[in-house]
Chains A and B, each alone.
Chain A
Amino acid sequence: MTRWVVALVVTIWATAAHADEQAFRAAGELAAKSDPRAIDAYEAVGAARPITRWTDDAWVEAARIAERQRDYDRARRDLEQAIAISTDAQLVRRARGDLARLEQLTGGGEWTAVAGEHQRLVTAIADGGDPTSELEQLEALVKANPGYPRGVAIRIVLARAWETEDEVDRALDWLRDALRVASASEAERARIELVRMLVRHRHLDDARREVPLVTDPSMRASLERALATGESWQVMRWAAIALLVVLGGIAIALVRRRTGSWRAVARRFARPPVEVIYFVPIAAVIGFIASTGNPLVAKGVIWIFAGAAIIAWVSGATLEAARRRGPIGVRHAIAHAGIVGVAVVAAVYLALDHARLLDLVAETWRTGPGH
């Protein structure tokens, strides 16, 4: 009799386990298709009795979908179910960790709605298109909820997003605000972000003031290196600008000397020289092709062509003025080409600096094009 009862129980359990396995798999199929019924399907497996090896797994999967749907309360409930019935130590440890993380995320339920809105807005900001509206909503969210535990993280997100939108001052304001509200443990992170952004945008005096306040010696050393690099590049930037201004001034002076009047100078520079007429269409085509590829590199290419077009214009105007006084000698031509070459190098440097491509070029120089 006992043997029959045991056999019956085993059969019922095996049948239930098989049914649970099939139902778990079916719920997985729904989850793979992002079907909203997946969470109910998993919870049904979790709630079915007798308990099988799939029961706790089903509650865990349901909790993950609930978290993805920003339904943090439901995620917590599902995790509690898993912990209550599971005998799998690893699963329980993981579920307890997830539960603790959700508690931290939502402040024990106090910030559930804010956390959900935070996730929604950050996703919308990153989703392409004009993010201004979502950024402003996120700004409002953080201002309206000063106690939200991830307030500093949101401010850093805002800073990075505004920087991407070329609103650097607004970005820096958010990082300074992050530093203002940060706890002691968060302040270091906010300050490092601030220094990096200050260096990126060559606000080097401000960066220099912040670096000594970074407490971690290795990070401070790293930021000092970045600051030193930024200072070198800043010097080179001013040198390039000065060089171009001087060369431009010399070109104007030469044209003035060769044409005899400022009115003639104006006429000479107002008319595009033949070099520019040839160069601009080719540059436009290459710039267009570049713009269909990597946007960062495209920005650099377009700035390089813009600088090159200006140099070609000035160079052509100067040469045309010189030709009016007779043929140009070989030495004159070589000297002119050399000076134009120097000007192009200076303009390329400024274009790369403006497009923030200097790091990439330096890395490619050091480690080769394949890297």
Chain B
Amino acid sequence: MRSSWVLLLVAACGSDYEPPAFTDLGGTLKIDGCGYDVTTKLGAEPPRVSKDYLGSDPTPRLVHLGFMGDPKTSMVVQWRTVDEITRNGEIRFAKGADLDAAALTEKKTGIEFGYQATGSTIYRMHQAHLCGLEPGTTYSYQIGSEGHFSPVRSFTTAPDIAANPDTEVVFGFMGDTRDGYDIWEQLATAIGQRTPNLILFSGDAVTIGLTQVEWESFFGRAEELLATVPIVFAHGNHEVNATPYFSQFAMPGDQENFGFDYGHAHITVANDTPTEVSALTGSIVDFLKADFEASKNARWKLLMHHQPMWSASNHGSNMTLQTAWQPIVDQYHLDLVLNGHEHEFEITKPLVGQNVMPSMDNATVYVVAGGGGAELYANGTDFWTQYSESTHNAALVRVRRDQMTFEAYRTDGTVIPGGFTKTKQ
């Protein structure tokens, strides 16, 4: 039955290409001109270069940005199509903000792969990888296939701080949206109004990572933001290391544990719910040490993962992470650790080990901003608490060469106390 439909569609689109049957073993594809590979996991097809094959409705949807290479010079645009079987996808782009479609003179063919969630439906991810872009530059783009392109949108690459040392970068930060997508939409809109360079998301976008329906809400409700600002995601316990999670985000390295420079900041991302729990005290510790050592000269150092080392809310502090990870955080003098997991807002005083420090110099502030939409938890306070509140929230981290500012907001737009400015000579 399925093959007859395929034949019908092939006839309709006039292409000789017959897509191979779905295989779920994953695979790797080298991306020309980018110097990296795209690897899909078990449960997904191997990635392939897009072919001339259109389904019944190739309209692009759920467009969102990411990056796998240097964010100064690269960007990945990701989308799906309404029909889920179209294999054709390309990007048209040009330097400049808010250009007309006719001005998008450069083109690049995309790649695509199918993946499975719960049920038998095969979802098809399209990606367009742009490399060799100019730093700190706005590009207009649209993606899709002939006759079925998305609206024109813009993105901006990360700035070159060597050329522009005064440049500020702004990170939107939030987490734990699951089942509260009306609130997520509100927060995404509010953060979007503040023109961030990058969205940092600390995990638990969905209740169960295998269920596609919630992913649709997550991407759909914030498409205006996520199609113009790249997102970097830390795996949360509710993503359950599922194939749909890995299939829908383009991120550096293995998509679980990686680090990258953005403006004057170095951001490290770690998966604190790995498939093998022993990794928490083994391979991830090794990764953190290596990444922190490699970035020890970075002006500002941030770590994002899901479960907080310090929290006075429902789950409390994760003592495994506090024991295994915090000594390394202290050793390398990280400035800020970003977490979710607790559905509230919480910020610590500057900490080193178990001690509250009199100043922020060489000390770390830990933030929980897990109020992205999920049902709220009660907040608590302990000796380390600077401020906590049971409220839906999203935050901004503004990074300049000599100062970093943190500020969080409620859904009504009011500022949550506890924000800070930290300076460095």
Spell out A's residues near B (CB within 8 Å). 24-25, 28-29, 31-32, 53-54, 57, 60, 64, 68, 88-91, 93-94, 97-98, 100-101, 105, 118-119, 122-123, 126-127, 150, 153-154, 156-157, 160, 164, 188-189, 192, 196, 216, 218-219, 221-222, 293-297, 359-360, 367, 370-371
Instruction: Report the separation of the CA atoms of residues A93 and B389 in the bound assembly, to the nearest whole angstrom.
Output: 32
Q: Count the A-B residue pairs with Cβ separation under 8 angstroms: how many?
A: 128
**Does the CB pair A101–B213 fall under 8 Å?**
no
A-B pairs with beta carbons under 8 Å apart, 9 shown: A28-B403, A32-B403, A32-B422, A88-B167, A90-B159, A157-B412, A188-B182, A296-B377, A360-B314
Is B73's beta carbon under 8 Å from chain A? no
Q: Would you call the interface of chain A mostly helix, strand, loop, or mixed?
A: helix
Nearest chain B CB to A118 CB, angstrom units: 7
Whether, in the assembled complex, B39 has its beta carbon less than 8 Å from a beta carbon of chain A, the answer is no
Instruction: Decide yes or no whether B195 CB sits under 8 A from chain A.
Output: yes
Question: A118-B414, A222-B181, A294-B312 known; 15 other A-B pairs, CB under 8 Å?
Answer: A28-B423, A53-B166, A57-B166, A90-B197, A91-B168, A98-B195, A101-B193, A150-B412, A156-B412, A294-B380, A296-B380, A297-B314, A359-B375, A367-B238, A371-B273
A94 and B170 contact, CB distance less than 8 A: yes
Inter-chain CA distance A196–B179, complex, in Å, is 11
Cβ B182 vs Cβ A153 within 8 A:
no
| Bound CA span A74–B344, Å | 32
Partner of A32, one of B216, B237, B423: B423
Chain A residues with CB under 8 Å of B360's CB are 32
Is A57 within 8 A of B378, CB to CB?
no
Contact B195 A97 (CB under 8 A): yes
Cβ-based interface call for B400 (8 A)? yes
CB closest chain-A residue, reference B411: A153
Query: How far does the alpha carbon of A153 sit from the alpha carbon of B360 in the complex, in Å?
Result: 35
A31 to B416, CA, bound (A): 17
Instruction: Determine how close the nearest CB of chain A comes to the CB of B370; give it in whole angstroms.
Output: 13
Residues B314 and A153 in contact, CB atoms below 8 Å apart: no
CB nearest to A369 among chain B residues: B315
- Give the residues in chain A near B400, CB-CB below 8 Å: 28, 57
Q: Chain A residues near B402: list those with CB within 8 A.
A: 24-25, 28
- Whether B194 lies near A32 (C-beta < 8 A) is no
CB neighbours (8 Å) of A296 from chain B are 314, 377-378, 380
Choose among B307, B315, B391, B423 the residue that contacts A29 (Cβ–Cβ < 8 A): B423
Interface of chain B, main secondary structure: loop
Considering only residues 366-425 of chain B, those with a C-beta below 8 Å from chain A are 375, 377-378, 380, 389-391, 400, 402-403, 405, 407, 410-417, 420-423, 425
Measured CB to CB, the closest approach of chain B to A319, in angstroms, equals 38
With the chains together, A308 CA to B324 CA distance in Å? 39
Residue B78, interface by CB 8 Å: no
B138-175 interface mask toward A, CB cutoff 8 Å, 1 = contact, 0 = none?
10000000000000000010010000101110100000
The answer to whether A218 and B216 touch (CB under 8 A), given A118-B414, A123-B414, A296-B377, is: yes
Asked whether, in the complex, the Cβ of B194 is within 8 Å of the Cβ of A119, the reply is no
A297 to B159, CA, bound (A): 47
Give bound CA distance, A150 to B410, whole Å: 12
B59 lies within 8 A of chain A by Cβ: no
* Interface residue B202 (Cβ < 8 Å from any Cβ of A): no
B348 contacts the other chain (Cβ, under 8 Å)?
no
B391 / chain A contacts, CB cutoff of 8 Å: 126, 160
Q: Which residues of B contact A221 (CB under 8 A)?
A: 213
CB distance from A311 to the nearest CB of B (A): 27
CB distance from B289 to the nearest CB of A (A): 23
Residues of A within 8 A of B416 (CB): 126
Give the complex CA separation of A303 and B351 in angstroms.
35
Contact indicator B182/A216 (Cβ below 8 Å)? yes
Q: B248 within 8 Å of A by Cβ?
A: no
Q: How far is the CA of A323 from the CA of B420 in the complex (A)?
A: 68
**Cβ contact of B417, chosen from A118, A126, A295, cutoff 8 A:** A126
B258 to chain A, nearest CB (A): 23
- Any chain A CB within 8 A of the CB of B133? no
Q: Is the CB of B166 within 8 A of A54?
A: yes
Q: A60 CA to B398 CA in the complex, in Å?
A: 12
Interface pair A98/B194, CB less than 8 Å apart: yes
Q: Tell me if A119 and B179 are in contact (CB < 8 A).
A: no
Contacts of A25 in B (CB 8 A): 402, 423, 425
The chain B residue with its CB closest to the CB of A188 is B182
Assembly CA distance A27 to B186 (angstroms)? 33
Complex Cα spacing A365 to B167, Å: 48
Q: How far is the CA of A189 from the CA of B360 in the complex (A)?
A: 39
**Given the known A-B contacts A89-B97, A218-B181, are A126 and B411 also in contact in the complex, defined by CB atoms under 8 Å?**
no
Within 8 Å by CB of A294, from B138, B182, B314, lies B314
A contact residues around B168 at 8 Å (CB): 57, 60, 91
Q: Are B412 and A153 in contact (CB under 8 A)?
A: yes
Q: Does B247 contact A (CB under 8 A)?
A: no
With most chain B CB atoms within 10 A of its CB, the pick from A31, A90, A150 is A90
Tell whether B355 is near chain A: CB-to-CB under 8 Å. Answer: no
Max chain A CB contacts within 10 Å: which of B166, B194, B413?
A: B166
* Closest CB pairs A-B (n = 7): A153-B412, A296-B378, A94-B195, A32-B421, A28-B403, A371-B237, A97-B195
Whole-angstrom CA separation of A157 from B390 in the bound complex: 11
> A196 to chain B: closest CB distance in Å?
7
B313 interface residue per 8 A CB criterion: yes
Question: When chains A and B are docked, how far (Å) is the Cα of A221 from the Cα of B414?
Answer: 30
Chain B residues within an 8 Å CB radius of A93: 97, 195
Contacts of B320 in A (CB 8 A): 370
Decide yes or no whether B327 CB sits under 8 A from chain A: no
**Distance between B183 CB and nearest chain A CB, rounded to angstroms:** 8
CA distance A64 to B144 in the complex (A): 39
**B421, A94: Cβ atoms under 8 Å?**
no
A100 CB contacts on chain B under 8 angstroms: 193
A97 touching B186 in the complex, CB below 8 Å, given contacts A25-B423, A32-B420, A222-B179: no
Contact present for A90 and B414 (CB under 8 Å): no
A150 touches B181 (CB 8 A): no
Contact of B318 with A by CB under 8 A: yes
CB-CB under 8 A from B417, the residues of chain A are: 123, 126-127
Measured CB to CB, the closest approach of chain A to B203, in angstroms, equals: 11
Known contacts A153-B411, A196-B375; is-contact A97 B193 (Cβ 8 Å): yes
